[in-house]
């Protein structure tokens, strides 16, 4: 569906100094579920080893148009037909110029000429080369032909120059690629997701919070957008990049999160409560920093409002999905939460295991409804998020 599950991608790596970043691009694409094959140009080989790319991609690296064995079965045509998308990253000035002229003097240019799938190009070169009229004309021509360009960034370059021409970040490249495979599973729907931890002040410098990074919530936001939903995020304390295609509301405390959710919930079709909201907050917030020698050694707590329960009580409530982060009695506790809060599904994760759950890049969850529970096996949070959205669509829309 929305990410790159089952998508077959050819990564062309050409002769730019930034080719050393190409194994990271392979990993980012794999994290989104893609199978990746690499075509390395002669120039690319000067900057990154075939062995690295072969190891990371788990596939033979293709680099030779004149490979007798591969060409017994017309390897270049086979590769062109295999791909759902070809991305050249980094794309050297030379390779870009070759594409413009329809040249076919090496494996990468020949495969591109023979391919009918989408082609993307991420230029990477010295700022003066990038600013040249030839480069501008070439990129415009490619764009006219339907090739998508991933613009380079601005900054310090390997040669010491400062300017535009740095290869876009691998995460940005993977994201731009996955945007091409958007679907409409949640087309026309509105989705509100809470993300991250809340921060409950003790005094002006101290607070109570938790280890939530926002990775799972942001992965859900991404999957929701990829599925075509108009997505609103209520974001607490996080340590991940914010999905810039969503409407975002930033909050600090559980109270603020409650208020932001209640203000924005009324026209939503789906509410996913993924934030790690503090159950309690200090009864009093000291206006001044509490001194070391203060007589106050105990912090008295008061319960916060339950956001998920309150949304579930609304007359025209959206479909409500809660998260249960448990460390023991997992399924019992999650089923209890499903009943107590009267929500439509609970996503259960075991946060006692440091390899999944809070802060980690992977997760393994159970999707629990009144009809039973379904395990979503361990995978990257992005793939798990995509599977959760799939299940929600199947079950409720």
Ligand X SMILES: Cc1cc2nc3c(=O)[nH]c(=O)nc-3n(C[C@H](O)[C@H](O)[C@H](O)COP(=O)(O)O)c2cc1C
* Nearer residue to ligand X within complex by CB, 14 or 212: 14
Is 261 exposed, middle or buried, given 0-12, 13-18 or 19+ CB atoms closer than 10 A?
buried
Rule CB under 6 A: is residue 336 a binding residue for ligand X?
A: no
Q: Could you tell me the smallest distance in angstroms from the CB atom of residue 91 to ligand X?
A: 8
Rule CB under 6 A: is residue 87 a binding residue for ligand X?
A: no
Rule CB under 6 A: is residue 345 a binding residue for ligand X?
A: no
* Nearer residue to ligand X within complex by CB, 14 or 237: 14
Interacting residue with ligand X among 4, 5, 7, 15 (CB under 6 A): 15
| Residue 26 host element (H or E) | helix 22-31
Contacts of 9 (CB under 8 A, 6+ apart): 29, 34, 35, 36, 37, 83, 84, 85, 86, 87, 177
Rule CB under 6 A: is residue 14 a binding residue for ligand X?
A: yes
Interacting residue with ligand X among 8, 27, 43, 305 (CB under 6 A): 43
Question: Please, are residues 119 and 112 in contact by the beta-carbon 8 Å criterion?
Answer: yes
Residue 119 pairs in a beta bridge with: 86
Q: Which residues are catalytic?
A: 159
* Nearer residue to ligand X within complex by CB, 127 or 304: 127
Rule CB under 6 A: is residue 42 a binding residue for ligand X?
A: yes
DSSP 195: E
Contacts of 147 (CB under 8 A, 6+ apart): 99, 119, 120, 121
b/e code 70-109 from CB counts within 10 Å (16+ = b): beeeebbeebbeebbbbbbbbbbbebbebbbeeebebbbb
Q: Could you tell me the smallest distance in angstroms from the CB atom of residue 246 to ligand X?
A: 34
Rule CB under 6 A: is residue 22 a binding residue for ligand X?
A: no
Interacting residue with ligand X among 1, 4, 11, 17 (CB under 6 A): 17
Interacting residue with ligand X among 93, 120, 168, 238 (CB under 6 A): 93
Rule CB under 6 A: is residue 79 a binding residue for ligand X?
A: no
Q: Could you tell me the smallest distance in angstroms from the CB atom of residue 100 to ligand X?
A: 12
* Nearer residue to ligand X within complex by CB, 10 or 17: 17
Rule CB under 6 A: is residue 152 a binding residue for ligand X?
A: no
Rule CB under 6 A: is residue 23 a binding residue for ligand X?
A: no
Rule CB under 6 A: is residue 196 a binding residue for ligand X?
A: no
Rule CB under 6 A: is residue 95 a binding residue for ligand X?
A: yes
* Nearer residue to ligand X within complex by CB, 39 or 358: 39
Q: Taking Cα atoms as reference points, which of 195, 186, 263, 197 lies closest to residue 223?
A: 186
End-to-end CA distance of the chain: 16
Interacting residue with ligand X among 16, 194, 226, 382 (CB under 6 A): 16
Take residue 297 and report the two structure tokens written for it: 């050694």
Q: Taking Cα atoms as reference points, which of 90, 109, 108 lies closest to residue 149?
A: 90
Q: Which stretch binds ligand X (CB under 6 A): 35-43, 210-218, 321-329, 342-350?
A: 35-43
Cα angle for residues 289, 294, 300 (degrees, 5° grid): 80
Q: Could you tell me the smallest distance in angstroms from the CB atom of residue 105 to ligand X?
A: 9
Rule CB under 6 A: is residue 49 a binding residue for ligand X?
A: no
Q: Which stretch binds ligand X (CB under 6 A): 66-74, 90-98, 206-214, 249-257?
A: 90-98
Q: Could you tell me the smallest distance in angstroms from the CB atom of residue 108 to ligand X?
A: 8
* Nearer residue to ligand X within complex by CB, 65 or 265: 65
Size of the site for ligand X (CB under 6 A): 15
Chain residues 112-151 in contact with ligand X, contact rule CB under 6 A: 124-125
Q: Could you tell me the smallest distance in angstroms from the CB atom of residue 240 to ligand X?
A: 29
Q: Among positive and negative, which fits the CA dihedral 42, 9, 26, 248?
A: positive
Question: Please, are residues 84 and 56 in contact by the beta-carbon 8 Å criterion?
Answer: no
Q: Taking Cα atoms as reference points, which of 161, 154, 32, 155 lies closest to residue 87?
A: 32
| Residue 88 host element (H or E) | strand 85-91
Q: Which stretch binds ligand X (CB under 6 A): 37-45, 61-69, 213-221, 386-394?
A: 37-45
Rounded CA separation 387/378 (Å):
11
Q: Could you tell me the smallest distance in angstroms from the CB atom of residue 64 to ligand X?
A: 13
Contacts with ligand X by CB under 6 A lie at 14-18, 41-44, 92-95, 124-125
């Amino acid at each position: 569906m929305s990410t790159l599950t089952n998508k077959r991608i050819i990564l062309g790596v050409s002769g730019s100094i930034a080719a050393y970043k190409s194994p990271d691009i392979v990993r980012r694409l794999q994290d989104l579920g893609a199978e990746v094959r690499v075509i390395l140009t002669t120039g690319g080989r000067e900057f990154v080893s075939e062995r690295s790319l072969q190891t990371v991609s788990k596939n033979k690296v293709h680099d030779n148009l004149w490979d007798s064995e591969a060409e017994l079965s017309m390897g270049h045509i086979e590769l062109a037909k295999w791909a759902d998308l070809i991305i050249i990253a980094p794309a050297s000035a030379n390779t870009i110029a070759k594409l413009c002229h329809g040249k076919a003097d090496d494996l990468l240019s020949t495969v591109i000429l023979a391919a009918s799938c989408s082609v993307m190009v991420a230029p990477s070169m010295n700022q003066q080369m990038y600013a040249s009229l030839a480069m501008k004309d070439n990129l415009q021509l490619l764009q006219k032909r339907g090739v998508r360009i991933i613009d380079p960034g601005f900054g310090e370059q390997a040669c010491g120059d400062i300017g535009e021409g740095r290869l876009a970040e691998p995460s940005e490249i993977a994201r731009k690629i996955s945007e091409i495979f958007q679907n409409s599973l949640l087309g026309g729907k509105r989705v509100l997701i809470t993300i991250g931890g809340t921060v409950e002040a003790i005094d002006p410098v101290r607070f109570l919070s938790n280890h939530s990074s926002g990775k799972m919530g942001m992965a859900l936001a991404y999957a929701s957008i990829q599925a075509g939903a108009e997505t609103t995020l209520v974001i607490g304390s996080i340590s991940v990049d914010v999905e810039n295609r969503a409407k975002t509301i930033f909050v600090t405390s559980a109270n603020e999160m409650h208020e932001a959710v209640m203000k924005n919930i009324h026209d939503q079709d789906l509410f996913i409560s993924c934030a790690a909201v503090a159950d309690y907050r200090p009864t009093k917030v000291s206006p001044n920093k509490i001194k070391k020698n203060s007589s106050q050694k105990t912090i008295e707590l008061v319960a916060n409002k339950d956001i998920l329960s309150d949304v579930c009580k609304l007359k025209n409530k959206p479909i409500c999905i809660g998260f249960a982060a448990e460390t023991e009695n997992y399924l019992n506790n999650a089923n209890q939460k499903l009943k107590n809060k009267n929500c439509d599904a609970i996503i259960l994760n075991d946060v006692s295991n440091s390899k999944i759950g809070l802060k980690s890049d992977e997760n393994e969850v159970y999707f629990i409804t009144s009809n039973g529970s379904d395990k979503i096996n361990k995978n990257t949070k992005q793939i798990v998020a995509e599977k959760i959205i799939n299940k929600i669509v199947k079950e409720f829309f």
